[in-house]
Structure 1
Amino acid sequence: MATPPPLERRTDTYAGRSLDVLRAMVRDGQLQPGQRLNEVELARALGISRGPLREAIQRLASEGLLNVVPHRGAYVRTFDADELRDLYELRTALETHAVRLAARRADNEDLRDLDDLLRATEEVLESDVDTAYPGELDFHHRVVALSGNQSILRAFADANNQIQLARSRSGRQPRRARDAFKEHREVLRALAGGDAELAARLMDEHLQHSLENALSLFENTVPDSPSGLAGRLEDEEL
């Protein structure tokens, strides 16, 4: 099978690359949840005019990363616990089906690539007991890509970007990283055995554990905010 496509919807145009940069700034917490986007400063930082910037903002709003409030501007989306659960339910539906397809379609080279990824991950985890899981999303992305279904892959990317944004202020637990690694190993064993239903069940259990951990961190660090509007609609600038 061919090398999986990149997780994000990238384009080769300059405007497209600017969209990728803005998406990453939002998703990774450089622009904080609830923060109002300063179009003048962002356009200058990205080296584009405000027209393409506004197109990028509308695109990210359609992906669920921004809220555009009439006469107020665009704000980085905030999430409450129910919305986080909804996103994990969507991700679980996508990934359990994807892993079933992957169990039928992945070849030996694909499985070796996944094994190499997990071996490299294990080395990092063993060398640093306090690290979060390096490349966790890479494993999930590769499994979804092995389904061969581009529609699932695009939906997964959008849902996962929203989850990353929702969790950008709550951090990670090193203990969970090791448990997640073991669960990934079990999924890979099921894939190698061609057992589609076992792989799907293990992926479902893994994502349920991930949700429980995410909610524990989320509810202890991020106050609930109104659905649909950025939680703090202040005129905050970059």
Structure 2
Amino acid sequence: MTQPVSKRLTRDSTFSQRTESVLRDMILDGELKPGERLNEVILAASLGISRGPLREAIQRLASEGLLTVISHRGAFVRTFERAEVAELYELRAALELHAVRLLCQRATDDDLAGLAAMLDETENRLSGSADPAYPPELDFHLQLVRLVGNPALLAAALEAQRQISLARTMSAHRPTRARAAIVEHTDILDALRARDQELATRLMAEHLHHSMESAISVLGLPFDEEPANERNQP
């Protein structure tokens, strides 16, 4: 396995930071597959750096949950169990439902108009492709959290997003899910515009449940395990 890298790092870069960015993109874009072992020799040669900065980047990405480092075996792109995906979506739901409740109280009309413009651009991109993926730079969920104006909440949401990005990225490449997501996002926005907190939170909860099911299905994980929130219940 050659693990080619499209961008060779320049000598004026901060090697460890640039290496971290390149590796993160390779993981989240699917260039490095779940379960794949990172070949340090080939990656370092392709990037034009020594293995020191590469190993520093690997350790940071492992701390983010994108890589798993196994002693005497090396670093592997993280794989997921169904329970792990469910738990991560539970965390995401807790953060984003709180954001929705706050936005029903705090969001200005201009804030919501900006969200509507983002959804219009997303819909235009999806309609222009026969096999569309949801544009990651037009992330409706992170924009919702940003509009709350709480840096701590945003940092937690970003961390949760990083940990489920492998599953979500693969899920988003299913045209039916990407198209369904834009419809669900629009319904959530309509509820926010109406300042209907109960409806907005219910729609977001349903949307995240659909997203989780899609991610689990794409990953080929079994559905016969108990959901995380039902474990240890009487």
> What interval of TM-score do these two structures reach, taking the shorter chain for normalisation?
0.7 to 0.9
Q: 1:121-170 CA distances to partner (integer Å, 9 max, x unpaired)?
A: 22233344542333586111101111222222222223222322135566
Counterpart-to-counterpart distance in 1, 2:79 and 2:161: 15
Aligned in 2, Cα 1:151/1:46: closer, same or farther, shift over 3 Å?
farther
Counterpart-to-counterpart distance in 1, 2:87 and 2:14: 34
Q: 1:168-198 CA distances to partner (integer Å, 9 max, x unpaired)?
A: 5667332222221111011111222333333
Q: Which residue of 1 aligns with 2:60?
A: 59
Q: Do 2:170 and 2:218's aligned partners in 1 also have CA atoms closer than 8 Å?
A: no
Q: How do 1:1-238 and structure 2 match up within 5 A?
A: 13=14, 15-128=16-129, 130-135=131-136, 138-166=139-167, 172-219=173-220
Q: SS state of the match for residue 139, structure 2? A: helix
Q: 1:58-107 CA distances to partner (integer Å, 9 max, x unpaired)?
A: 11111111111112211111112222112111111111112222333322
Q: Across the two proteins, how many residue pairs are aligned to each other?
A: 210
Aligned in 2, Cα 1:48/1:94: closer, same or farther, shift over 3 Å?
farther
Gaps of 5+ in 2: 1-12, 223-234
Q: SS state of the match for residue 97, structure 1? A: helix
Counterpart-to-counterpart distance in 1, 2:39 and 2:58: 11
Counterpart-to-counterpart distance in 2, 1:108 and 1:171: 29
Counterpart-to-counterpart distance in 1, 2:144 and 2:173: 22
Aligned in 2, Cα 1:202/1:99: closer, same or farther, shift over 3 Å?
same
Is 77-86 or 166-175 further displaced after alignment?
166-175
Over 6 Å off, 4+ runs? none
Q: What code does the residue aligned with 2:31 have?
A: Q
Q: SS state of the match for residue 125, structure 1? A: helix
Aligned in 2, Cα 1:157/1:92: closer, same or farther, shift over 3 Å?
same
Gaps of 5+ in 1: 1-11, 222-238
Counterpart-to-counterpart distance in 1, 2:65 and 2:95: 17
Is 89-98 or 101-110 further displaced after alignment?
101-110
Q: Do 1:78 and 1:166's aligned partners in 2 also have CA atoms closer than 8 Å?
A: no
Identity of aligned residues (%): 56
State the structure with bigger RCO (CA 8 A, min sep 6), 1 or 2.
1
Aligned in 2, Cα 1:14/1:108: closer, same or farther, shift over 3 Å?
farther
Counterpart-to-counterpart distance in 2, 1:106 and 1:13: 39
Q: Do 1:67 and 1:76's aligned partners in 2 also have CA atoms closer than 8 Å?
A: yes
Is 60-69 or 172-181 further displaced after alignment?
172-181
User: TM (normalized to structure 2)?
Assistant: 0.78
Is 125-134 or 14-23 further displaced after alignment?
125-134
Counterpart-to-counterpart distance in 1, 2:171 and 2:214: 10
Q: Do 2:132 and 2:173's aligned partners in 1 also have CA atoms closer than 8 Å?
A: no
Counterpart-to-counterpart distance in 1, 2:181 and 2:167: 19
Counterpart-to-counterpart distance in 2, 1:213 and 1:165: 12
C-alpha deviation, 1:44, in angstroms: 2.9
C-alpha deviation, 1:46, in angstroms: 3.0
Aligned in 2, Cα 1:169/1:131: closer, same or farther, shift over 3 Å?
closer
Counterpart-to-counterpart distance in 2, 1:25 and 1:32: 9
